[in-house]
């Protein structure tokens, strides 16, 4: 082919949404081109207009959205204002779509096979038995083993990874020229994500399909696409060859994004942090020593910066913690125990961070709940400053609660929507009868200041705040009682990259300032690298590896850890100008899918509408790597 | 690794937007300009812009005014019946005419409002207290309590409101307004209990409840301060609609002769009396029926408007 006309050419695109508060321009003056067979990635935060731009191509905008300027040319033909009939003809047969959330994009009432057969019939590719035969071929092609049997199953019998494969098969059913993949893997575990994207890559290369990949993950985009388009607040701020953008970003926003993206910059960021840490530790020493003089804290200062140094002061020791959940058996009275956490032991030293990393279903959150005494362990002990707290009740438990505080994942669920910010932060003080109204107000002001929020915020309600702001309020509430240990359960996973970096920095600063100890639960290895001193890697309820964070990253001993590290997108991209502190593990080095949780719910979510999306809960997400609910591990391997 | 081998892009252009067109903003800046908005404040703002709410609220205000001061709108005594003025048509003295017993229809319709509103309001309070308490406890405690309380709810649910009230009403010699309130309240709390239970279950699993537990709040404190305030909205909606239902129930019981005695002034009793003269005096039936219909309709409309304001998801667009 010598054709140099782009397959898709968007120029000066304007998209406007009409809302109750007037028209809102979601996309302004966006221009981009996709050439046959190439992969172009649009990168941006939530609300940057990346999905809106992509959806406008197949005219899939919500009802109140419309293209108000510019043009979209597909295959040389202007399709901006052609009748809907012609767009319908393009959908599926010329432009395929892989949606974001595999959990909700298959109709649970229909067999997976018949949904693909339907797509074939709709695009006049094949009908009847020919279509059914083609369906099986397509599923095979998408990497599902035993495709003939799988086609006859319902979506609930598929794991998340398998569902996404079925959706890819559907998107490619009519051999389109362009495939729009909208965050195709952000709801999946990293190892599953890697398999799916590898497969999508090889399939589209083989078929010569151009891919427009929408993602929030700069590392993933750079790894998978030749051409990057960076969007910010509805505008394209930078576009160009992927490597060139990563290595020499020009626009300040791109620079900021690259600096914040843990998957790309963790190397550099960590080195900065390491330098900071020396200073911070000295400050923490002073702070803790100061605290020891006027509080009853009998302990010495925080542990040394280097996690390899011998343990001096253990705040929390977890010994052989085990938790069984009963799983309903074939008959009601016979339940089989499911071991969610199996013999987990670790120490948390004062002033340090211990991270627990694992994929969904690894039992990491269950450990957190037991440390917080929100769940009773089946066996094993949790020691707080040497005392067994497993049997604490009443007043003893209440005084323990003062010193161990949680921060949860979902910023939209963690604050009571009926409580003003002031009441939210004041609640713990009130519960423990600390101070009078005046001193409590002073404390709330002080806490808001600590989390870098203005004091005027006190009279506001959670529905007015962004996810990052809510998470900072949750941090302020957790700090109100001057706790010693904070358990962060996926505390930054639902936030955009830049906000995530900001909150992590805040947590890190507060640790230095207040001598806090963190237990940091996450699936995101890059975050671990940035904040943790010690790391535990969990798989299927067991600790498969634990040690100082640098050791785990530099020389992982276990195959599973290596696999997790290797699955992180963007790891192999050489960044110019980054000080390399660990040349030997270049391919394992930087990390993470930033936020595999799919987009957060709208801020105006109503309180009793109870946002419960199964896909949102890390532990209920797909158990891909350990095999589907029916089909066994084979389903996930390419 | 991206490879440029398969790209047909003519040359690798690198576009950078000029900074003045795309200025950077602070990460996650706080908007300090807008006024604070609580959930109830927000709901109220939605309410006052809803014409259904305006109309129903005006009607309810009218109904409440009439039930408080029926004497301001008529000089006639509703319980003074003279056979000498029976079956009269509308006149200046009796704008709605008189009944076969010689009562003034306007006065009876106006004074009947008080009975209906009293029964409806207090029955609503009683049934919401019973149903709300049982539902909240069942949902919050769960397990054995939930199983027992839910079965009790089911048993009461199986008894039709009117049937239960008829049985009790037949056993009581002198039925007063308060007996009607208790009887309807005891049989009419089940839908409130079910809604409260469901709402409490969905709220108690939210993160902010777990956060309060971890802050050291006790279970009763969490139930009263976090769970119930967040679960109350759908209960308010149902209770408002229930109010209309209870007014109808009282009228039905009195119509059937097992509710309030004929000596009391009630729309149900008037409708019952008027059906004998339906052919000759249709307006005798019309006025109390209209009053009943308007009152009930306005409460049901109010319930709808409140539902729209409190739960935008249930809104039909």
Burial A47-72 (b: 16+ CB within 10 A, else e): bbbbbbbbbbbbbbbeeebebeebeb
Q: At how many degrees (to 10) do helices A112-122 and A160-171 cross? A: 20
User: How close does chain B come to A459, measured CA to CA in Å?
Assistant: 6
Chain B residues whose CB is inside 8 A of the A461 CB are: 36-39
H/E element holding A221?
Answer: helix A218-224
Helix (H, G, I), strand (E, B) or coil at A157: helix
Q: Is there a contact between A407 and A476 (Cβ–Cβ < 8 Å)?
A: no
Task: Collect all residues of chain B within an 8 Å Cβ-Cβ radius of residue A235.
Answer: 17, 21-22
Half-sphere exposure of A253 (CA within 13 A, CB side): 27
Residue to substitute from B1, B5, B9, interface A, most A β-carbons within 10 A:
B9
Across the A/B interface, how many CB contacts are shorter than 8 Å? 190
How far apart are the CA of A197 and the nearest CA of chain B, in angstroms? 12
Report chain A residues whose CB lies below 8 A from the CB of B200.
none
Minimum Cα–Cα distance from A238: chain B residue: B16
d(CA A607, CA B228): 12
Tokens 């960590």 correspond to what residue? A270
Q: How near does any CA of chain A get to the CA of B248, in Å?
A: 30
Query: H or E segment at A326?
Result: strand A314-328
Total residues belonging to chain A: 638
Mind telling me how many Å the CA of B157 is from chain A's nearest CA? Answer: 25
CA torsion, ordered A55, A59, A60, A61, to nearest 10 deg = 80
> Which domains, from first to last, does chain B contain?
58-68+97-312 (1.10.3720.10)
A268: CB partners within 8 A, 6+ apart: A259, A575, A578, A579
Q: How far apart are CA A281 and CA A312, in angstroms?
A: 15
Minimal Cβ distance to A502: which of B2, B27, B230: B27
Q: What angle do CA A445, B218, A383 make, to 5 degrees?
A: 85
Question: What is the full DSSP assignment across A41-80?
Answer: EEE--TTSSHHHHHHHHTT---TTEEEEEEEEEETTEE-S
Count of positions (residues) in chain B: 317
Q: How far is B22 from chain A (nearest CA, A)?
A: 7
Nearest CA in chain B to A466: B28
* Calpha distance B57→B42 (Å, rounded): 18
Burial A325-355 (b: 16+ CB within 10 A, else e): eeeeeeeeeeeeeeebbbebebbbbbbbbbb
Tell me the three state secondary structure of residue A34: strand
Cα angle: A264, vertex A270, A272; to 5 degrees = 115
Taking the C-alpha atoms of residue A226 and residue A148, their distance in angstroms, rounded to an integer, is 35
CB contacts of B206 in chain A (<8 Å) are 413, 610
- For residue B3, the chain A residues in CB contact (below 8 A) are 226
Query: Does A242 sit within 8 Å of B37, measured CB to CB?
Result: no
Residue to substitute from A41, A178, A416, interface B, most B β-carbons within 10 A: A416
Burial class (CB in 10 A: 0-12, 13-18, 19+), A6: buried
Strands A178-182, A95-98: pairing is parallel
Closest by Cα among A623, A77, A62 to A359: A623
Contact B211 A39 (CB under 8 A): no
**Helices and strands, number each (H, E), in chain B:** 12, 1
Q: Which residues of B touch A241 (CB under 8 A)?
A: 4, 12, 14
Q: Provide the shortest C-alpha distance from residue B236 to chain A (in Å).
A: 13
Tokens 């199964």 map to which residue?
A614
User: Which DSSP letter does residue B298 get?
Assistant: H
CB contact under 8 A, A427 and B30: no
User: What is the C-alpha separation between A479 and A428, in angstroms, rounded?
Assistant: 9
Nearest CA in chain A to B229: A418
CB nearest to A414's CB, from B4, B9, B207: B207
Same fold, A8-261 and A264-310+353-374+389-593: yes
What is the rounded distance in angstroms from the CA atom of residue A123 to the CA atom of residue A169?
Answer: 14
Picking from A197, A260, A211, the residue whose alpha carbon sits closest to that of residue A232 is A260
Starting at the edge strand that comes first in sequence, how are the strands of the sheet with A379-384 ordered?
A335-349, A314-328, A379-384, A387-388
Q: 10 Å Cβ neighbour count for B307?
A: 19
Do B4 and A226 lie within an 8 Å CB cutoff? yes
- B28 to chain A: which residues are within 8 Å by CB? 466, 468-469, 498-499, 502
Longest Cα–Cα distance in chain A: 82
**DSSP H or E run through A400:** helix A394-403
CA dihedral B22, B26, B27, B31 (to 10 degrees): -110
Q: Say yes or no for a CB contact (<8 Å) between A404 and B214.
A: yes
**Are the Cβ atoms of A499 and B28 closer than 8 angstroms?**
yes
Q: Report how far apart the first and last C-alpha atoms of chain B are (Å, whole number).
A: 48
Indicate yes or no: CB of B17 within 8 angstroms of CB of A39: no
Please give the CATH number for the structural domain made up of A264-310+353-374+389-593: 3.40.50.300
| CB spacing of A608 vs B202 below 8 angstroms | yes
Residue with tokens 């100890």: A517
What is the spatial distance between Cα A368 and Cα A362, in angstroms, rounded to a whole number?
A: 12
Token digits of residue A249: 């970003």
Q: What pLDDT is attached to residue B119?
A: 93
Do the bridges between strand A517-522 and strand A353-357 make them parallel or antiparallel, or are there none, so unpaired? parallel
Alpha-carbon distance values, A454 to A429, A446, A448, B193 (Å) = 20, 10, 7, 42
Class of the CATH-defined domain A8-261: alpha beta
Please tell me the distance in Å from A387's CA to the nearest CA on chain B: 19
List CB contacts (< 8 A) between A459 and chain B: 36
Cβ A511 vs Cβ A351: under 8 Å: yes
Strand intervals (E) in A350-458: 353-357, 379-384, 387-388, 404-407
Burial annotation A124-156 (CB, 10 A radius, 16+ → b, else e): ebbeeeebbebbbebbbbbbbeebeebbebebe
pLDDT in tens, B44-89: 888 888 899 999 999 999 999 999 998 888 888 888 878 888 777 7
Q: Does B313 sit within 8 Å of A609, measured CB to CB?
A: yes
For B86-135, what is each residue's pLDDT tens digit? 777 788 888 888 888 888 888 889 999 999 999 999 999 999 999 999 99
* In chain A, domain spans: 8-261, 264-310+353-374+389-593
Q: Is the pTM of this model over 0.90?
A: no
Least Cα separation, residue B208 to chain A (angstroms)? 4
Partner-chain residue, chosen from A205, A232, A499, that has the shortest CB–CB distance to B22: A232
The shortest CB-CB distance from B32 to any of A240, A454, A466 is to A454
Residue among B136, B215, B223, B309 with most chain A CBs within 10 A, to mutate: B215
Q: For B144-195, how does the pLDDT look when each residue is reduced to its tens digit (9 = 90+)?
A: 999 999 999 999 999 888 888 888 888 888 888 899 999 999 999 999 999 9
DSSP string computed for A100-145? S-TTTSS-TTS-HHHHHHHHHHHTTS--HHHHHHHHHHHHHHTT-T
pLDDT the model gives residue B312: 57
3-state secondary structure A506-539: HHHHHHHHHCCEEEEEECCHHHHHHHCCEEEEEE
How far is Cα A584 from Cα A296, in angstroms, rounded to an integer? 46
A24-30 long-range Cβ contacts below 8 angstroms, 24+ apart: A25/A68, A25/A234, A26/A52, A26/A65, A26/A234, A27/A52, A27/A53, A27/A56, A27/A234, A27/A235, A28/A234, A28/A235, A29/A70, A29/A235, A29/A236, A30/A70, A30/A231, A30/A234, A30/A235, A30/A236
Q: Is A76 left (phi over 0), alpha (psi -120 to 50) or beta?
A: left
Angle at A11 between CA A7 and CA A16, to 5 degrees: 120
Is the ipTM beyond the 0.90 threshold? no
pLDDT-derived band of residue B227, with 50, 70 and 90 as boundaries? very high
- Whether B312 sits inside 8 A of A606 (CB atoms) is yes
Q: CB–CB of B28 and A459 under 8 A?
A: no
**Are B211 and A408 within 8 A, CB to CB?**
yes
Cβ-Cβ contacts under 8 Å, B213 against chain A: 374
What residues have CB less than 8 Å from B261, skipping those under 6 apart?
B174, B175
Q: Which of B29, B35, B208 to mutate to test the interface with A (most CBs of A within 10 A)?
A: B208
What is the rounded distance in angstroms from the CA atom of residue B246 to the CA atom of residue A611? Answer: 34
For A207, nearest residue in chain B (alpha carbons): B6
Which of B39, B208, B215 lies at the smallest CB-CB distance from A401? B215
pLDDT < 70 regions, chain A: 1-3, 262-312, 329-330, 332, 570-638
Q: How confident is the model at residue B140 (pLDDT cuts 50, 70, 90)?
A: very high
Q: How far is A200 from chain B (nearest CA, A)?
A: 14
Residue A226: list chain B partners with CB under 8 A: 2-4, 7, 9
């Amino acid at each position: 082919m010598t054709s140099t006309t782009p397959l898709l050419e968007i120029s000066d695109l304007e998209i406007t949404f009409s809302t109750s508060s007037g028209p809102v321009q979601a996309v302004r003056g966006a221009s981009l081109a996709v050439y046959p067979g190439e992969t172009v990635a649009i990168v941006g935060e939530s609300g940057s207009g990346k999905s809106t731009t992509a959806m406008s191509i197949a005219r899939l905008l919500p009802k109140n959205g419309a293209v108000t300027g510019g043009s979209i040319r597909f295959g040389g033909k202007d399709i901006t204002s052609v009748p809907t009939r012609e767009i319908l003809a393009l959908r599926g047969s010329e432009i395929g779509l892989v949606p974001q959330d595999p959990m909700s994009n298959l109709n649970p009432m229909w067999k997976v096979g018949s949904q693909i057969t339907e797509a074939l019939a709709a695009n006049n590719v094949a009908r009847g038995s020919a279509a059914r035969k083609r369906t099986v071929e397509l599923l095979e092609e998408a990497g599902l083993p035993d495709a003939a049997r799988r086609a006859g199953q319902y979506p609930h019998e598929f794991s998340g990874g398998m569902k996404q494969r079925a959706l890819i098969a559907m998107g490619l059913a009519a051999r389109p020229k362009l495939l729009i993949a909208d965050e195709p893997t952000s709801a999946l575990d990293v190892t599953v994500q890697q398999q799916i994207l590898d497969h999508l890559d090889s399939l589209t290369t083989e078929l010569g399909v151009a891919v427009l990949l929408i993602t929030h993950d700069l590392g993933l985009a750079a790894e998978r696409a030749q051409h990057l388009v960076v969007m910010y607040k509805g505008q394209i701020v930078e576009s160009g060859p992927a490597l060139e953008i990563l290595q020499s970003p020009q626009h300040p926003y791109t620079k900021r994004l690259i600096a914040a993206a843990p998957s790309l910059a963790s190397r550099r960021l960590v080195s900065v942090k390491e330098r900071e840490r020396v200073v911070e530790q000295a400050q923490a020493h002073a702070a803790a020593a100061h605290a020891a003089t006027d509080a009853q804290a009998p302990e010495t200062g925080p542990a040394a910066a280097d996690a390899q140094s011998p343990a001096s002061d253990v705040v929390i020791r977890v010994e052989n913690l085990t938790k069984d959940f009963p799983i309903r058996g074939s008959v009601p009275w016979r339940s089989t125990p499911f071991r969610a956490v199996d013999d987990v032991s670790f120490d948390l030293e004062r002033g340090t961070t211990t991270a627990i990393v694992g994929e969904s279903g690894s039992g990491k959150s269950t450990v957190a709940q037991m440390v917080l005494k929100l769940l009773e362990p089946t066996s094993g002990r949790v020691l707080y400053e040497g005392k067994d707290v497993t049997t604490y009740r009443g007043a003893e438990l209440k005084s323990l609660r003062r010193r161990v505080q949680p921060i949860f994942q979902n910023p939209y669920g963690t604050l009571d929507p009926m409580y003003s910010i002031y009441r939210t932060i004041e609640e713990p003080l009130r519960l423990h009868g600390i101070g009078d109204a005046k001193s409590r107000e002073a404390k709330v002001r002080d806490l808001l200041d600590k989390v870098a929020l203005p004091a005027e915020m006190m009279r506001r309600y959670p529905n007015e705040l962004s996810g990052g702001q809510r998470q900072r309020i949750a941090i302020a509430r957790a700090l109100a009682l001057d706790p010693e240990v904070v358990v962060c359960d996926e505390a930054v996973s639902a936030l955009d990259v830049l906000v995530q970096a900001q909150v992590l920095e805040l947590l890190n600063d507060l640790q230095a300032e207040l001598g806090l100890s963190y237990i940091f639960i996450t699936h995101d290895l890059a975050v671990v690298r940035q904040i943790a001193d010690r790391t535990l890697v969990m798989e299927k309820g067991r600790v498969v590896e634990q040690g100082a964070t640098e050791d785990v990253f530099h020389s992982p001993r276990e195959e599973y850890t290596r696999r997790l590290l290797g699955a992180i997108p963007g790891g192999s991209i050489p960044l110019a100008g980054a000080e390399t502190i660990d040349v030997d593990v270049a391919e394992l080095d930087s990390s993470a899918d930033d936020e595999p949780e799919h987009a957060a719910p709208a801020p105006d979510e109503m309180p009793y509408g109870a946002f419960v999306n199964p896909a949102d809960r890390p532990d209920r997400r797909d158990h891909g790597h350990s095999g589907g609910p029916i089909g066994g591990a084979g389903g996930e391997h390419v | 690794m991206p490879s440029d081998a398969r790209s047909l892009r003519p040359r690798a252009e690198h576009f950078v937007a000029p900074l003045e067109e795309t200025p950077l903003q602070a990460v996650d800046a706080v908007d300090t300009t807008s006024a604070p908005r609580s959930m109830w404040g927000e709901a109220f703002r939605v309410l006052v812009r809803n014409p259904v709410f305006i109309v129903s609220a005006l009607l309810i205000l009218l109904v409440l005014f009439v039930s408080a001061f029926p004497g301001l709108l008529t000089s006639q005594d509703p319980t003074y019946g003279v056979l000498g003025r029976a079956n009269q048509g509308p006149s200046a003295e009796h704008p709605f005419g008189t009944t076969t017993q010689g009562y003034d229809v306007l006065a009876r319709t106006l004074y009947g409002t008080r009975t209906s509103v009293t029964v409806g309001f207090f029955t609503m309070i009683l049934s919401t207290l019973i149903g709300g308490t049982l539902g909240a406890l069942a949902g919050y405690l769960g397990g054995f309590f939930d199983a027992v309380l839910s079965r009790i709810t089911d048993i009461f649910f199986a008894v039709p409101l009117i049937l239960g009230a008829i049985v009790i009403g037949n056993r009581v010699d002198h039925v007063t307004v308060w007996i009607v309130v208790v009887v309807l309240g005891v049989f009419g709390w089940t839908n409130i209990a079910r809604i409260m239970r469901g709402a409490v279950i969905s709220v108690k699993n939210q993160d902010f409840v777990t956060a309060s537990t971890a802050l050291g709040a006790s279970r009763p404190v969490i139930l009263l301060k976090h769970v119930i305030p967040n679960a109350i909205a759908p209960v308010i909606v149902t209770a408002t609609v229930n109010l209309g239902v209870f007014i109808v129930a009282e009228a039905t019981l009195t119509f059937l002769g097992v509710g309030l005695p004929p000596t009391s002034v009630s729309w149900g009793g008037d409708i019952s009396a008027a059906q004998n003269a339906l052919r000759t005096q249709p307006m005798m039936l019309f006025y109390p029926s209209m009053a009943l219909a308007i009152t009930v309709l306005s409460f049901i409309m109010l319930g709808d408007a409140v539902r729209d304001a409190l739960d935008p998801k249930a809104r039909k667009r």
